[in-house]
Amino acid sequence: MERRYLVLQKLTEGQTLFVGSVAGAIEAAATQPLTYLKNTVQQRLRVSADPRIVYRGTLASCCADASLIGSQFVLCGSLQKLMVNHQTRTLSFFEEIICALGAGAASGLPCCALELTMIQQQRYGGSTMDTLRSLLAARGGGLFRGLGPSAAREAVFAAGYLGLSPQMDRLLPPTWATALSSLFSGLICAGITHPIDTIKSCMQGDVHRTKYGGFIHTYRTIYADGGPAAFYRGYGARAAMICICFYIFAETKLQLASLAFPRQLICDDPDP
């Protein structure tokens, strides 16, 4: 049973990147409608049911999440290997959380640029390359507008699915362990990170700073618009999205790794 929690320690960096990238692409495609709804509600824009609008930016989103989750898997796996001195053993809760937090925070840089591209494409349309060219020429921080909130959010997000969820999984009945741990850890993670995600989405949706300036200015503007509740706009869509994400990541990590790299994972389970 412990083998399912040691995948990142047993795979090479290239194998881990492959598994994480596939997990990210699957998740992005599966949750695109929720991503669109969340971003639109957070920015107080009109929600459309037109699939051409809902799925606008899906390619950018899939590329973004494949790169992001792939990098988080690799970074977390590398930190876990350092933690155990390149041996194989079960990590404590604290050790898993520390590795996941580090991986998430480090991925904030690519996350910021990739999600900014996706949000701008969702809002204004156009091709991915046209959007990138426009952002590179824009005022207001260019591709790295919202970097601080991105890094903070990704640190907690990664700690949720690479740290908290596996620990919960161990404590639950095997039949429902992955689903329930994804649900509980996803709701906790969404509650903690949603205010900062709202700030990030508003900043990245307004690269020219027409309404939202820097982090503090954006915080004050959102608060003035609706008080504390304004930071939880789109929470339902994002909470559902995160729970689905965590489930996809957990199952892909185990199932795809077992299918693609069975020899890496066949060994005796370590002592807990």
Q: Kindly report the CATH class assigned to 2-265.
A: mainly alpha
Residue range 225-255, pLDDT digits in tens: 999 999 999 999 999 999 999 999 999 998 9
What pLDDT, on a 0 to 100 scale, did the predictor assign at position 138?
65
Residue range 159-186, pLDDT digits in tens: 999 999 999 998 898 889 999 999 999 9
Tokens 């850890």 belong to which residue?
Answer: 185
User: Which residue, 64, 72, 66, 81, is CA-closest to 12?
Assistant: 81
Produce one character per residue of 39-76: b if its CB has 16 or more CB atoms within 10 Å, e if not: bbbbbeeeeeeeeebbebbbebbbbbbbbbbbbbbbbb
Tokens of 186: 């996803």
Q: How far apart are CA 242 and CA 179, in angstroms?
A: 12
In the chain, domain spans: 2-265
All residue ranges of the chain with pLDDT < 70 are 1-4, 138-141, 266-272
